[in-house]
Amino acid sequence: MVDIHLCQPDSTKSCAACCGIYNYVENTKPALLKRFEYRDALFSKVKAGELSLDGYRDIVRHREDGRRIFKTIYSCEFAGFVDGEKKRVGCMLHPMVTGGCDLRVHSFYGREICDGHFCPSYQKLASNEASIVLLCIDDWYLYGSVVTDIDFVKTFFTIVQNSVGEEISPAVVKSAPRLAETLKSYFSLKVAWPFRDTAKPRFGKYYFVGEEYDIDRIDYRRLGARVPAYDPIYLSLSSFFRTKDDLDRAHTKIDTLIKGFCDEYGKARNGHH
List contacts with ligand SF4 (CB under 6 A).
6-7, 15-19, 76, 78-79, 91, 93, 104, 107, 109, 114, 117-119, 121, 144, 147-148
For ligand SF4, the closer of residues 95 and 228 by Cβ is 95
For ligand SF4, the closer of residues 19 and 172 by Cβ is 19
The least CB distance from residue 111 to ligand SF4, in Å, is 8
Q: What share of the chain is helix, strand, coil (3-state, %, to 5)?
A: 50, 10, 40
The least CB distance from residue 164 to ligand SF4, in Å, is 27
For ligand SF4, the closer of residues 117 and 222 by Cβ is 117
Distance CA 192, CA 10 (A): 25
**Residues 15, 147 contacting (CB under 8 angstroms):** yes
User: Which residues, 6+ apart, have CB-to-CB distance to 32 below 8 Å?
Assistant: 21, 24, 26, 141
Q: Which amino acid is at 260?
A: G
For ligand SF4, the closer of residues 153 and 250 by Cβ is 153
Distance CA 271, CA 273 (A): 6
The least CB distance from residue 92 to ligand SF4, in Å, is 7
For ligand SF4, the closer of residues 95 and 260 by Cβ is 95
The least CB distance from residue 19 to ligand SF4, in Å, is 3
The least CB distance from residue 251 to ligand SF4, in Å, is 30
Q: What is the DSSP letter of 104?
A: G
**Residues 69, 25 contacting (CB under 8 angstroms):** yes
